[in-house]
Amino acid sequence: MARVVITGAGTINALGRDVASTQAAMAEGVCGISALNMRDVDRLSVTIGGQIHSYNEADHFNRQQIALYDRFTQFTLLAAREAIAQSGLIFTGELADQAGVILGTSGGGLTTQDENYRTVYEDGKNRVHPFIVPKLMNNAATAHVSMEHNLRGPSFTVATACASSNHAMGQAFTMIRGGSAKAMITGGSEAMLCFGGIKAWEGLRVMSKDGCRPFCATRNGMVQGEGAGVFVFEEFEHAKARDAEILAEVIGFSMSSDASDIVMPSKAGAARAIAGALRDAQIDRSEVGYINAHGTGTAANDKTECAAVAEVFGPHADQLMMSSTKSMHGHLIGGTGAVELLACLMALREGVIAPTINYQETDPECAFDVVPNVARDAKVDVALSNAFAFGGLNAVIALRRAP
Amino acid sequence: MSIASQVIDIIAEQAMLDPAEITLESSLAELGVDSMGVVECIFAIEETFDISVPFNANEPSQSDFDISTVGSITKAIEKLVNEAA
């Protein structure tokens, strides 16, 4: 089986417009969550989020592109440009046919849907722009990345709610490992911070009105974010032959289904995904130094996730660092695993562990080293990234320091 | 129709029980209403009484809105309805 490495990374999110500024903010423990700025915000009961403020689409795209690119597609394209530029890959000839795009998103073009439902229902208009369908569809971002970079291999979009981007990256990984691609552009994006997007989440009554405090005894819910994380996954020998800079090696992936409840997480399902990733990577649990937790800040997720980690790691759980960077950038739903993988890269490459900020008080059910409030220097060889979605669909990725 | 009987109807529908089987002393858990069922009940209560119920599923016990029994829910609604009036 081929080995798989990461040779490019890109992002845009509430903490930064690129990887360097995002990782710097993570290392500083910056909170990217702030008051939401959107139409009808006074009709919302949840008014905070990890929103990308002062974003002007016209700075990046022309009129024709904007007519086709929903906000989630725009974020994806910006992150993909950064990742591909860093990798140095140019997709022509045979390589173009052996390179594809697999991205995760949950809501896809939700902002486009929201705006156009408003046009026909609230404003009473009987006509919408001709490109609403290609703009809102969940595979639009994947398709536009493939067009912009001439990626002609296996390409599709994955939607598994909060685990979408981890599932997408897992597919990209197995595709290269199994020999059906040389390089894959992968990750995910989300732009759900529109009136309808927040209103729907309010209904579940799991959102916090005052901040995201994962694992903290005073936590009272999740806070949404937006943005994208995109990576270049490449076959190791291919990367080595062209002397590419390797950011990390992808060594394992596992997915599982709780098969139990549409919203309540299960310890058993999460534990099977975590243990599966270790098995797939053929590593002992003692090699893992850092876990980027799913850590949503809800009562249910955090205690279930901690119980699952405790079960899989046994006594080694006491040696682990496990932080949730959602405390800083919010929960990017279908794009969250991708942005969180940047914290894993930072841990492996720079030996800096991103903190769980807003941490005030220990919850005995989450009594782990959650790297409270302040980043820490530590040498880490293997990092895991957890994602556990509504629907009980779980996906865990294992990375190792660059060979 | 009294607030109590409307609350009983809402909970009966959620629990798939006959309203006659529900008393003011019944707790939602006894009636088989799980956490998702509670959130649906609160939604129905807000729609029925045109009130806004302060309830966060992450910290149900922290809420001023006591959901422990049908009677406590009825009392909490009466308070909110009076405040709104």
Query: Cβ contacts (< 8 Å) between B40 and chain A: which residues?
Result: none
Q: What's the CA gap between A113 and A120, in Å, rounded?
A: 11
Please indicate, yes or no, whether residues A97 and A161 belong to a single structural domain of this protein.
yes
The helix or strand, by DSSP H or E, that contains position A339, with its residue range, turns out to be helix A336-350
Please indicate, yes or no, whether residues A390 and A271 belong to a single structural domain of this protein.
yes
Residue A242 pLDDT more than 90?
yes
Please indicate, yes or no, whether residues A194 and A321 belong to a single structural domain of this protein.
no
Please indicate, yes or no, whether residues A178 and A319 belong to a single structural domain of this protein.
no
Average pLDDT for A263-271: 96
Q: What confidence tier does B62 reach under pLDDT thresholds 50, 70, 90?
A: confident
Q: What's the CA gap between A385 and A248, in Å, rounded?
A: 13
Catalytic one of A294, A306, A329, A366: A294
Q: What's the CA gap between B64 and B53, in Å, rounded?
A: 9
Average pLDDT for A295-317: 97
> Where in the sequence is the domain holding A289, given as residue range(s)?
252-400
Residue B64 pLDDT more than 90?
no
Burial class (CB in 10 A: 0-12, 13-18, 19+), A362: middle
Percentage of chain A beyond pLDDT 90 is 100
Query: Cβ contacts (< 8 Å) between A264 and chain B: which residues?
Result: 35-36
Mean pLDDT over the full length of chain A: 97
Task: Find the distance separating the first CA and the last CA of chain B, reported in whole Å.
Answer: 17
Which amino acid, residue A393? Answer: L
Q: Name the domain boundary from A191, A216, A241.
A: A241
Average pLDDT for A68-73: 98
Query: Cβ contacts (< 8 Å) between A205 and chain B: which residues?
Result: 39, 42, 55-57
Q: Which residue of A has its CA nearest to B53?
A: A205
User: Which of B39, B59, B62 is opposite residue A204, by nearest beta carbon?
Assistant: B39
Please indicate, yes or no, whether residues A211 and A256 belong to a single structural domain of this protein.
no
Average pLDDT for A335-350: 98
Contacts of A60 (CB under 8 A, 6+ apart): A74, A77, A78
Which amino acid, residue A10? Answer: G
> Within a 10 A sphere around the Cβ of A263, how many other Cβ atoms?
17
Q: What confidence tier does B1 reach under pLDDT thresholds 50, 70, 90?
A: confident
> Where in the sequence is the domain holding B63, given as residue range(s)?
3-84
The domain tally of chain B equals 1
Backbone angles phi, psi at A9, to 5 degrees: -145, 145
Please indicate, yes or no, whether residues A303 and A162 belong to a single structural domain of this protein.
no
User: Which of B43, B52, B58 is opposite residue A203, by nearest beta carbon?
Assistant: B43
Q: Which residue of A has its CA nearest to B55?
A: A205
Q: What confidence tier does A226 reach under pLDDT thresholds 50, 70, 90?
A: very high
Q: Name the domain boundary from A219, A241, A263.
A: A241
Contacts of A210 (CB under 8 A, 6+ apart): A48, A220
Please indicate, yes or no, whether residues A17 and A153 belong to a single structural domain of this protein.
yes
> If DSSP states are collapsed to H, E and C, what string results for A235-303?
EHHHHHHCCCCCCEEEEEEEEEECCCCCCCCCHHHHHHHHHHHHHHHCCCHHHEEEEECCCCCCHHHHH
Question: Residue holding tokens 């876990």?
Answer: A291
Average pLDDT for A185-199: 97
Interface test with chain A among B36, B53, B58, by most A beta carbons within 10 Å:
B58
Residue B84 pLDDT more than 90?
no
pLDDT score recorded for residue A323: 98
Decide: helix, strand or coil at residue B55: coil
pLDDT score recorded for residue B65: 85
Average pLDDT for A189-218: 97
Yes or no, beta carbons of B58 and A204 under 8 Å apart: no
Please indicate, yes or no, whether residues A213 and A262 belong to a single structural domain of this protein.
no
Work out the minimum CA distance from A132 to partner chain B, whole angstroms.
32
Catalytic residue check, A294:
yes
Please indicate, yes or no, whether residues A226 and A288 belong to a single structural domain of this protein.
no
Number of A–B residue contacts, CB under 8 Å: 32
Residue A253 pLDDT more than 90?
yes
Contacts of A384 (CB under 8 A, 6+ apart): A274, A277, A288, A290, A291, A292, A344, A396, A397, A398, A399
Yes or no, beta carbons of B58 and A203 under 8 Å apart: no
Query: Cβ contacts (< 8 Å) between A206 and chain B: which residues?
Result: 56-58
Catalytic one of A144, A149, A162, A194: A162
Q: Which residue of B has its CA nearest to A222?
A: B58
Interface test with chain B among A202, A205, A263, by most B beta carbons within 10 Å:
A205
pLDDT score recorded for residue A285: 98
Q: Find residue A158's DSSP bridge partners.
A: A104
pLDDT score recorded for residue A261: 93
Please indicate, yes or no, whether residues A261 and A234 belong to a single structural domain of this protein.
no
Yes or no, beta carbons of A220 and B59 under 8 Å apart: yes
The domain tally of chain A equals 2
The helix or strand, by DSSP H or E, that contains position A188, with its residue range, turns out to be strand A183-190
User: Which of A45, A205, A262 is opposite residue B57, by nearest beta carbon?
Assistant: A205
Yes or no, beta carbons of A208 and B58 under 8 Å apart: yes
Q: How would you classify residue A237: left for phi > 0, otherwise alpha for psi between -120 and 50, otherwise beta?
A: alpha
Work out the minimum CA distance from B17 to partner chain A, whole angstroms.
22
Q: Which residue of B has its CA nearest to A217?
A: B59
Task: Find the distance separating the first CA and the last CA of chain A, reported in whole Å.
Answer: 16
Percentage of chain A beyond pLDDT 70 is 100
Query: Cβ contacts (< 8 Å) between A298 and chain B: which residues?
Result: 58
Q: Is residue A247 part of a domain?
A: no
The helix or strand, by DSSP H or E, that contains position A185, with its residue range, turns out to be strand A183-190
pLDDT score recorded for residue B59: 82
Write the CATH number for A311: 3.40.47.10
Yes or no, beta carbons of A298 and B62 under 8 Å apart: no
Write the CATH number for B60: 1.10.1200.10
Please indicate, yes or no, whether residues A182 and A86 belong to a single structural domain of this protein.
yes
Q: Name the domain boundary from A222, A241, A260.
A: A241
Contacts of A344 (CB under 8 A, 6+ apart): A248, A290, A292, A383, A384, A385, A399
Q: What's the CA gap between A212 and A34, in Å, rounded?
A: 11
Contacts of A324 (CB under 8 A, 6+ apart): A214, A215, A292, A293, A294, A295, A296, A297, A356, A370
Contacts of A95 (CB under 8 A, 6+ apart): A89, A182, A183
Q: Per-residue pLDDT tens for A1-41?
A: 999 999 999 999 999 999 999 999 999 999 999 999 999 99
Contacts of B45 (CB under 8 A, 6+ apart): B7, B10, B51, B53, B73, B77
Q: Per-residue pLDDT tens for B20-61?
A: 999 999 999 999 998 889 999 999 999 999 999 988 888 877
pLDDT score recorded for residue B85: 75
Tell me if A35 sits within 8 A of A47, measured CB to CB.
yes
Q: Is the dihedral of CA A20, A394, A203, A157 positive or negative?
A: positive
pLDDT score recorded for residue A309: 98
Q: Per-residue pLDDT tens for A51-63?
A: 999 999 999 999 9
Query: Cβ contacts (< 8 Å) between B52 and chain A: which residues?
Result: 45
Q: What's the CA gap between A392 and A388, in Å, rounded?
A: 7
Please indicate, yes or no, whether residues A274 and A172 belong to a single structural domain of this protein.
no
